[in-house]
Chains A and B, each alone.
Chain A
Amino acid sequence: MVKKLLIVIFLIYPFYVFSQQEPDNQIQVNFNSYFDNFRLNVIYPSINIVKSIDNNTSITGSYLVDAISSASMKMTFKVDGVTSATANKQGGGDNTPDELRHQINLGFVRNISGVSVSADGMYSIEHDYSSKTFATNISIPFAKKNTVLQIGFAGNWDKVFPQTRFWTRSRNTTTYNIGMTQILSKNIVSQFDFSFINIDGYMLDGYQVVRILNGTNLSILEPIEPEKRIRKALGARMNFAVSKHSTLLLGYRYYWDTWDIKSSTIDAEYKTHMSDYTNISLNVRQYFQNKAYFFKATYTVPEPLMAVDSKLNSGYTNDISVNLEYKGNRYTGIPIINNDKVTFLASLGFFHRHTDSPDWVMRMSELYAYLISFGFKFSL
């Protein structure tokens, strides 16, 4: 049972990215994996297709599966994390996936007199969570395309029905996004972005519990969090052409919300063409946040608001990743790679998170995660 605690936090975040660029006709297949020292192993393959149907319109589609290997779910603790009372006898010793999430997207991008309009619908389902998303984006170029204004909207309608509870609850999210991409010179392009996210409803992980230890008395209660959250973020990025073959991107984001979390993120990415066919990038990112106003490391009496989620704790994260792209070409003489319609993709990432008090279930303050992804793009 306790394994669900880790699974659910991974699965409940279906992703989408605002995009206004009219894409090329292609199929992209990715095989992604995530492993961390909290014993969560996830494999999530995805396939994405873009196909133009006329000179100004492309349709997009994708399918993604999150698969969690049960072999990774052998938990450290001998007690059940949900009740904290019974023995945890199910360790997930076989090699079959315990959990699967399926996600399907369908959308289009249309160019109308230089203005790009896109819309995307998404449906995600798993055994204890479902999510529907509609996202739309418009990008309007100005000043001979030196300036591009981007306006985005997304709505999420989610249902939460944990297997260990007897209820179904809703969570509705509305995201507004406005951004501007600005060419500053022949070698510098910048982007400014503001997000406003309003969330109403149940925002907890349904499998978490709060342990209240008062002397020798132990009580187990469900966490209680506010049912409304307004999140705002302001980001700025600049991309510099530092040489004929290399670029350097620098970014900063400031985030604040009505739960009193404030955070700063800085990131840098260096990209270079190693050859006509090989492109490599190195990304470094650091993130700092304070805690939500109701988060406490321990509780001794029941309180109106109680949270144990480490995401709401104060701490910092470090992230470093390397990405490699190799374009197939006829000169290799190697089958498959000699096809110039194919681009091979690979990335390796390392993520570290420190929280100022130990995680409520794993009892560790340091999370170390490894990400490996590889795949290919095929031009249609």
Chain B
Amino acid sequence: MTISGCAVVQPWERERLADPNMMFDENPIQKGIKEHYINIREGSEGGTGSQGGGCGCG
């Protein structure tokens, strides 16, 4: 709570957050495939985040 600085959303209030589509990079393999070709064609790298999000129920 002190770290987040935000109102805590209780576990029973996370119905929409539990949708797999609310997760960042739900399929990290597909993300890796995409970054594979983007990194060879652009001069930048990193800062694309990591898998996570959703309801945090797991």
Residues of A within 8 A of B29 (CB): 17, 28, 30, 46, 48, 62
Within 8 A of A (CB), among B1-47: 1-4, 6-11, 13-17, 19-25, 27-47
Q: Is the CB of A247 within 8 A of B22?
A: yes
Query: Which single member of B11, B16, B52 contacts A148 (CB below 8 Å)?
Result: B52
Chain A: number of interface residues, binned into ranges: 35 or more
Within 8 A of B (CB), among A223-247: 231-235, 237, 239, 241, 244, 246-247
Q: Is the CB of B4 within 8 A of A142?
A: yes
In chain A, what residue has the closest Cβ to B25? A17
Query: Which single member of A12, A193, A261, A319 contacts B50 (CB below 8 Å)?
Result: A193
In chain A, what residue has the closest Cβ to B14? A186
Q: Is the CB of B30 within 8 A of A345?
A: yes
Q: Closest approach, in angstroms, between the C-beta of A137 and any C-beta of chain B?
A: 7
Bound: A62/B27 CA distance, A = 14
A148-B52, A183-B9, A185-B9 known; A143-B1 Cβ under 8 A: yes
* Binary interface encoding of chain A residues 1-23 relative to chain B, with 1 for a CB under 8 A from any of its CBs, else 0: 00000000110110111111110
In chain B, what residue has the closest Cβ to A349? B34
In chain A, what residue has the closest Cβ to B10? A144
Bound: A17/B45 CA distance, A = 12
Q: Is the CB of A182 within 8 A of B48?
A: no
Stretch binding the partner chain, chosen from A90-98, A160-168, A366-374: A366-374
A13-B40, A28-B29, A373-B33 known; A234-B52 Cβ under 8 A: no
Q: Summarize A's interface: helix, strand, loop or mixed.
A: strand
Bound: A175/B35 CA distance, A = 16
In chain A, what residue has the closest Cβ to B47? A233
* Binary interface encoding of chain A residues 176-200 relative to chain B, with 1 for a CB under 8 A from any of its CBs, else 0: 0101011111110101011111000
Bound: A251/B50 CA distance, A = 13
Residues of A within 8 A of B11 (CB): 144-145
Q: Is the CB of B37 within 8 A of A34?
A: yes
Q: Closest approach, in angstroms, between the C-beta of B12 and any C-beta of chain A?
A: 10
Residues of B within 8 A of A326 (CB): none
Bound: A311/B42 CA distance, A = 5
In chain B, what residue has the closest Cβ to A235? B47
Residues of B within 8 A of A246 (CB): 21
Residues of A within 8 A of B44 (CB): 231, 233, 253, 255, 257, 261, 263, 265, 287, 289
A21-B58, A142-B4, A263-B43 known; A237-B24 Cβ under 8 A: yes
* Binary interface encoding of chain A residues 349-364 relative to chain B, with 1 for a CB under 8 A from any of its CBs, else 0: 1010100000000000
In chain B, what residue has the closest Cβ to A316? B42
In chain B, what residue has the closest Cβ to A148? B52
Q: Is the CB of B30 within 8 A of A347?
A: yes
Q: Is the CB of A144 within 8 A of B8?
A: yes
Q: Determine if A206 is an interface residue (Cβ-Cβ < 8 Å).
A: no
Residues of B within 8 A of A183 (CB): 6, 9, 14, 17, 53, 56
Q: Determine if A339 is an interface residue (Cβ-Cβ < 8 Å).
A: no
Bound: A21/B25 CA distance, A = 10
**Given A139-B50, A145-B11, 12 extra CB contacts under 8 A:** A10-B37, A15-B39, A44-B33, A48-B29, A144-B10, A147-B3, A150-B52, A191-B50, A233-B47, A239-B53, A257-B44, A279-B21
> 29 A–B contact pairs at CB < 8 A?
A10-B40, A12-B40, A13-B36, A17-B31, A17-B50, A17-B51, A19-B50, A20-B52, A21-B52, A32-B33, A44-B36, A142-B4, A144-B10, A146-B1, A177-B50, A181-B53, A183-B17, A186-B9, A189-B24, A193-B48, A233-B48, A247-B19, A255-B47, A261-B44, A273-B19, A317-B42, A323-B30, A345-B30, A351-B41
